[in-house]
Structure 1
Amino acid sequence: MTVTDTAAELVARSNRLGADPRNTNYAGGNTSAKGTATDPVTQQPVDLVWVKGSGGDLGTLTAAGLAVLRQDRLNALVDVYPGVEREDEMVAAFDYCLHGKGGAAPSIDTAMHGLVDAPHVDHLHPDSGIALATAADGEKLTAECFGGRVVWVPWRRPGFQLGLDIAQVKRDNPQAIGVILGGHGITAWGDTSAECEANSLEIIRTAERFLAERGKAEPFGAVVPGFEALPTEQRRQRAAALAPVIRGLASTGNPQVGHFNDDDVVLEFTAREKLAELAALGTSCPDHFLRTKVRPLVLDLPPAAPLEEAVTRLKELHLQYREDYAAYYDRHAEPDSPPMRGADPAVVLVPGVGMFSFGKDKQTARVAGEFYVNAINVMRGAEAVSSYAPIDEREKFRIEYWALEEAKLQRMPKPKPLATRIAFVTGGGSGIGKAIAHRLAAEGACVVVADLDTAAAEAVAKEIGGPDQAIAVGADVSSEAAVAAAFEQAVLAFGGVDLVVNNAGLSISKPLLETTEKDWDLQHDVMAKGSFLVSRAAAKVLIDQAIGGDIVYISSKNAVFAGPNNVAYGAAKADQAHQVRLLAAELGGHGIRVNGVNPDGVVRGSGIFAKGWGAQRAAVYGVPESELGAFYAQRTLLKREVLPEHVAAAVFALAGGDLSHTTGLHVPVDAGVAAAFLR
């Protein structure tokens, strides 16, 4: 088999295993294959091991994500290994074992793959395997489940010594196809890639059957009366009301993006007698608690409790959580431990409603929730056949504040200016709104693309990158109910809102005597009333979050410039312009900044101009519609046409952080229209 074939076969096996959540969690586990290649220097055969590198995910692994190391040099490390107290030094030594350019950075689990005497090795985190690994009598249950075919390995932190331990177990048990790693996961091996994969699946499926056949019916205890799940619509409304409050609490130390999960597995767990007891024990598998923190925050009220009472209690529990986390850090920190990274919860459980999880971006928040679902499944399995007994708190701290983990965090790229911020852009399906949505996403924000044309909004959200970066909501901004529904979708998707852009608009160009009451009402309903409704809904969320925020109005130079045949549009824009001043004055005490952008006519890419406004304005000025943009440019001081991206740049300038002390401002983006100078 060629080098290319070996790597391709490994990637294919990894993708198959990683595609099924029963086999391993997102970004969890690693796989490897051994083979022979020709050394390009000596032209002699050299034994190599290909192993999934640090980071990445088995389900989406490519050849570029593999580390390639020399087997002889990995074996030689055994003779210089300084012992478990200094095993972290071996990770740096892996770099000296790389072959050629080496591929991806070697992971902490490289020793497990390189030292185990098998051509193919899989290390996975299946819920069923971890359930046995975290059962109080896991060693006994492993023997009952597998006989001698799978061997128990007591808990040891991932590293070089664990690789040596597993290698020794394999030598001592030639009949074994793999091991259960206490508190952690499974490892399997095989002489061929197909055999290794089959052995991994045998361990996982056998454990699943064992738990199902031997397990008791209600491992989490009985349902607590009053803690059952609310009906779907009522549950979603309650979640939307709580989400900004919870996100604000979770962002006390560092700003966070949120994710909401009300799947049956979550609702069933939070309704049961053992909720508080099991949640307090925390998760066990290192992949789990590195993302979920040592334990979740659990609201101890029934879902029917008054909202105000629930909010008050959440704030009390959050203060207690922070104190408890700081005490946990102080109990275990050593002089060389990294500083505490933040004392806020990553997971909040609300009985009858669901789970809120948090992270530095949407994907991280979503994955944290997925990991806690894995943890629930693990607890269910362990409690079904025994009792759940995760690794102890000291071991959790050693991994959470591991120097190697800290070094990995320090290597992360610097966050973009709008990272962790959630933007809500009205009229985001085309023109200026589309450009704003793209720019804010490019600067790191999660974006809610709101538009009356839902299909257009969906197209923009898809262009931006999908639900971890952007979602689409249909929204008629002139409808109070529609605006409320749009914000509910936003806070359930991302946890809250930080930056709201009032951009939705339309234009009707008519002389005064031809402007109908319907024309007037339509212009004011969409822009004046619509901006008011959106800003009011936004302010509620922003105030509940208590972490400040931005509201930006896309007004117009017509708010201050009196042009012909434009009374309804110009008056509505003037209304918007004064809303900026009024709301800046009112909301400043909450740390909410309100500013505006006054563009000149934006012709190219504009949905408004394409729907008749362009033809109307061209007729007013006596120029062909195709030359309207050039006409506007020639009447400016800079002689430049204003494009959607220029308006988007102004929005970013206002919200990007450099103007943190600016509110009540209108920024002209008109290439210099002297008659529209602000006074």
Structure 2
Amino acid sequence: MTDENPAVSDLITRSNRLGADPKNTNYAGGNTSAKGTGTDPVTGRPVELLWVKGSGGDLGTLKPGGLAALRLDRMRALVDVYPGVEREDEMVAAFDYCLHGKGGAAPSIDTAMHGLVEAAHVDHLHPDSGIAIATAADGDELTRTIFGDKVAWVPWRRPGFQLGLDIAAIKEEHPEAIGCVLGGHGITAWGETSEECEANSLWIIDTAAAYIEEHSTDEPFGAALEGYAALPEPERHARAAALAGTIRGIASTDRPMVGHYTDSDVVLDFLAHEAHPRLAELGTSCPDHFLRTKVKPLVLDLPATAGVEEMKERLLELHQPYREDYQGYYERNATDDSPAIRGADPLIVLVPGVGMFSFGKDKQTARVAGEFYVNAINVMRGAEGLSTYAPIDEAEKFRIEYWALEEAKLQRMPKPKPLATRVALVTGGASGIGNATAQRLAAEGACVVVADLDLEKAQAAAAEIGGPDVAVGVQVDVSDAAAVQAAVDAAVLAFGGLDLVVNNAGLSLSKSLLDTTEADWDRQHDVMAKGSFLVSQAAARVLIDQRMGGDIVYISSKNSIFAGPNNIAYSATKADQAHQVRLLAAELGAHGVRVNGINPDGVVAGSGIFAGGWGANRAEVYGVEEKDLGAFYAQRTILKQEVLPEHCAAAVFALVGPDLRQTTGLHVPVDSGVAAAFLR
């Protein structure tokens, strides 16, 4: 398969344009295709081919490698061996015997729709406007009214070979049609050229949107509810942060989840009106929606004016009936060959006046789930504005959610990394030990919040790690309680919660007892002793609310044990940190929170502390050149090896990873062996 073929080039260009605009389709939603002529590599003769977006791809970022290429004659010959709708899933495996060439993506369930329709180009999309018509109670009548003979109505049918046959028949029976509305699902359009197909898709989408805009009732979600209006943004975000731990714990009862917070106008307006409980209970309709959002959300039934603790308590009360309801849904619809239940916790939690919390196995999945529920709200608004929202029934939803083909796709997913779903906050994370630790935790699967006094450096470090679905940078002065709380709030709003804290922020003043001023002492202790206390305290509130356990790691120092010259303020505050580890391990263990420490020797490479004057002072104390300080430290150790930031990061991972789950209150020396700092 090659992008040199004009049909492929046109298909990629069209797909990227359509996928770039959210009004046309959602992330990874829909598929596109083109038919054209290729060369049979065996005979050298022309052969008719079908190129179609493969399973799991995204139109907006589609490349030639994301297409499946099939021999059109072989794919269409499957009609002669089709065993009927009860066994149509078998046809997906048959597509593999129609593939042309090497490479490319796996054919999706919608391949038949694209291959059987007699048109050179086909688009299947999930636009909000189109799904609004598809989910209206009188969607078939609305389709005729809005589009006339140009667009046909196809009653709901689960995606598959039979749906492909149905649409092919409609195309043949209605030569005047340019596409169809798929009941409960989306739209399909076709054309003889790529440009014509794209134009037809956009005409259906825009015509539906214009009709909804012109004919919709003024208040499709009903009257405004007193007390349910959006809170002012600062209060809204503070409330969301305060609730995040409780909500993430609810969503993670069966398995840990990463979260995403959304307070868009679409969500806040929906929750501010009287129809939202009824519509939320009906659930989403388009398969792409409910596969990512579950069939329905958990909705807090309190006004925005309720207190934080009242909201937390009520959310916990609502969780159990939600789980029982989902279990009932599973038991009503499961058959002997259904996959096991995948968990009964919500993936979408709606809080009036505050917004939406969405969850998934990673940040991207959680964010996309929220985007899909925003799509679902838009669909509900359009359907209610013209008619009544009437999604497909729960039995059909179950057939999609627990489809054997969907289960097989899930089973093919790669094994998660050791720290997958864990959210880490690393203070002093822009340089040295902190930066190495942030990078290692992210490499092991964690989402990371890089907190540093220098915001620009924190954001640059986060960008280098991987961007907002993996890492974010925030500013924090750890000696300021309000700044610490703001950093923890930013962490839970970015990733839904918090699991792992690394107290690394620090500074050092190298002075003798007589030269150390009261201001020196206070500054040193404010940043490290007080700072570690403030960070641990703010984080512990989230960890306790989540009821998921967690880890707090202190980057202490061999100086917490070792007594060296001209180091009174620094070493004393490191000893303070070391005892905080023991105290917090004893106190937080009841909540499943483990607290441990790392005792490094002097880590010179990449260190902001050493670069800021500490290195020069220590070099003077020991009578060596500053450039040789790392080597000097190495030579005084048993192993004669310099301690680097990545060695400390490895020790952090060892403590928070899967192998030391029963370890708390421990200090791990990372000093290449300093006998005077041996733990006793």
Q: Structure 2 length normalisation: TM-score? A: 0.99
Contact 2:484 2:535 in 1 (8 A): yes
Q: In the alignment, what sits opposite 1:169?
A: 170
Contact 1:3 1:35 in 2 (8 A): no
Query: 1:102 deviation in Å?
Result: 4.5
Q: Cα deviation per residue 1:16-55 (whole Å; 9 max; x = unaligned)?
A: 0000000001100000011101111111111101110000
Contact 1:3 1:36 in 2 (8 A): no
Are positions 1:111 and 2:108 aligned together? no
User: Following the alignment from structure 1 to structure 2, what is the Cα–Cα distance between the partners of residues 87 and 2?
Assistant: 32
Query: 1:3 deviation in Å?
Result: 4.8
Q: Counterparts of 1:45-444 in structure 2 under 5 Å?
A: 45-444=46-445
Query: 1:490 deviation in Å?
Result: 0.9
User: Following the alignment from structure 2 to structure 1, what is the Cα–Cα distance between the partners of residues 502 and 515?
Assistant: 31
Local SS of the residue matching 2:606: coil
Partner amino acid, structure 1, of 2:189: A
420-429 or 229-238, larger mean C-alpha shift: 229-238
Q: Counterparts of 1:522-537 in structure 2 under 5 Å?
A: 522-537=523-538
Q: Counterparts of 1:542-553 in structure 2 under 5 Å?
A: 542-553=543-554
Q: In the alignment, what sits opposite 2:24?
A: 23
User: Following the alignment from structure 2 to structure 1, what is the Cα–Cα distance between the partners of residues 350 and 558?
Assistant: 48
User: Following the alignment from structure 1 to structure 2, what is the Cα–Cα distance between the partners of residues 575 and 88?
Assistant: 64
Partner amino acid, structure 2, of 1:125: H
Contact 2:419 2:444 in 1 (8 A): yes
Q: In the alignment, what sits opposite 2:556?
A: 555
Q: In the alignment, what sits opposite 2:676?
A: 675
Q: In the alignment, what sits opposite 2:640?
A: 639
Q: In the alignment, what sits opposite 2:541?
A: 540
Query: 1:4 deviation in Å?
Result: 2.9
Contact 2:634 2:672 in 1 (8 A): yes
Query: 1:2 deviation in Å?
Result: 8.2
Q: In the alignment, what sits opposite 2:594?
A: 593
Contact 1:299 1:313 in 2 (8 A): yes
Query: 1:513 deviation in Å?
Result: 1.1
Q: In the alignment, what sits opposite 1:458?
A: 459
User: Following the alignment from structure 2 to structure 1, what is the Cα–Cα distance between the partners of residues 481 and 461?
Assistant: 24
Structure 2 unpaired stretches of 5+: none
Query: 1:309 deviation in Å?
Result: 1.5
Q: In the alignment, what sits opposite 2:519?
A: 518
Query: 1:129 deviation in Å?
Result: 0.2
Local SS of the residue matching 1:424: strand
Q: In the alignment, what sits opposite 2:11?
A: 10
Report percent identity of matched pairs.
76
Partner amino acid, structure 1, of 2:144: A
Partner amino acid, structure 2, of 1:32: S
Query: 1:5 deviation in Å?
Result: 2.6
User: Following the alignment from structure 1 to structure 2, what is the Cα–Cα distance between the partners of residues 528 and 35?
Assistant: 70
Local SS of the residue matching 1:358: strand
User: Following the alignment from structure 1 to structure 2, what is the Cα–Cα distance between the partners of residues 667 and 677?
Assistant: 10
User: Following the alignment from structure 2 to structure 1, what is the Cα–Cα distance between the partners of residues 194 and 491?
Assistant: 45
Contact 2:65 2:103 in 1 (8 A): no
Partner amino acid, structure 2, of 1:508: L
Local SS of the residue matching 1:254: coil
User: Following the alignment from structure 1 to structure 2, what is the Cα–Cα distance between the partners of residues 8 and 544?
Assistant: 52
Q: Cα deviation per residue 1:362-400 (whole Å; 9 max; x = unaligned)?
A: 111111000000000000000011100000000000000
Contact 2:245 2:546 in 1 (8 A): yes
Q: Cα deviation per residue 1:92-140 (whole Å; 9 max; x = unaligned)?
A: 0011110011511110001111111111000000000000000000000
User: Following the alignment from structure 1 to structure 2, what is the Cα–Cα distance between the partners of residues 100 and 264?
Assistant: 48
Contact 1:429 1:451 in 2 (8 A): yes
User: Following the alignment from structure 1 to structure 2, what is the Cα–Cα distance between the partners of residues 309 and 469?
Assistant: 33
Contact 1:88 1:404 in 2 (8 A): yes
User: Following the alignment from structure 1 to structure 2, what is the Cα–Cα distance between the partners of residues 183 and 45?
Assistant: 40
Local SS of the residue matching 2:123: strand
Partner amino acid, structure 2, of 1:425: V
Q: In the alignment, what sits opposite 1:630?
A: 631
Contact 2:634 2:641 in 1 (8 A): yes
User: Following the alignment from structure 1 to structure 2, what is the Cα–Cα distance between the partners of residues 65 and 231?
Assistant: 44
* RMSD between superposed Cα atoms in Å: 0.9
Q: In the alignment, what sits opposite 1:611?
A: 612
Local SS of the residue matching 1:667: strand
Q: In the alignment, what sits opposite 1:485?
A: 486
User: Following the alignment from structure 1 to structure 2, what is the Cα–Cα distance between the partners of residues 175 and 377?
Assistant: 30
Local SS of the residue matching 2:488: helix
Query: 1:7 deviation in Å?
Result: 1.5
Q: 1:638 to 1:102 in 2, by over 3 A?
A: closer
- Give the length in aligned residue pairs: 679
Local SS of the residue matching 1:64: helix
User: Following the alignment from structure 1 to structure 2, what is the Cα–Cα distance between the partners of residues 384 and 305?
Assistant: 30
Structure 1 unpaired stretches of 5+: none
